[in-house]
Every structure is written in structure tokens, then in C-alpha cells.
Amino acid sequence: MKTLIDIQDELMKDLLKESKAKTKKAAVIMAIREYINMRKREKLISMMGKYDFGYTQEDLEKMRADD
């Protein structure tokens, strides 16, 4: 998808420096991917301890001992 956006010069300069990307396009794509990955990690972290997959800590320890 082609998109025209106006990015502050200083912000783009910092992004290029930090990302070490060779082009503005590469830097923006990298930043978008990094943002998406960060949000996915945040969602996973927020789910920690809230999902019951049917095994207790004791069950898991018994399974490990049986191997």
C-alpha cells in the first residue's frame, strides 16, 4: 500500500540513526514491525497467570520425573 506521510525531520533522523537502516522506507517498516511485536509481547505478558491449561505445577513435575 502506498502512503504519503509527513514525518518530522528530527524524528526521521533519529530513526535512521538508531535503526541503522539504509533507507527511510526500511527504517519506517522496521519501526512499524517493532511496534507491532512490542504490542504482541505486552498482550502475552498481560495474559500470564490468567490461562488455565489443565495441569498443576505438581502434574508438570510428575511428567518431568517420568521422563
CA of 16: how far to CAs of 7, 24, 33, 39, 58, in Å?
12, 7, 15, 22, 50
Domain boundaries, position 37: 9-50
Is residue 34 included in any domain, yes or no? yes
- Residue 40 included in any domain: yes
Asked whether residue 28 is domain-assigned, the answer is yes
pTM of this prediction? 0.67
Instruction: Tell me the average pLDDT of the chain.
Output: 90
Helix and strand counts by DSSP (H, E) for the chain: 3, 0
Residue 42 belongs to some domain of the structure? yes
**Structural domains counted in the chain:** 1
Residue 19's pLDDT is what?
A: 96
Tell me if 65 is assigned to some domain.
no
pLDDT (tens digit per residue) in 37-55: 999 999 988 877 777 777 8
Evaluate whether residue 2 is within a structural domain.
no
| Residue 45 lies inside a defined structural domain of this protein | yes
pLDDT computed for residue 67 by the predictor: 62
Question: Three cell numbers at 27?
Answer: 527504517
Round to whole Å and give the CA distance between 4 and 46: 34
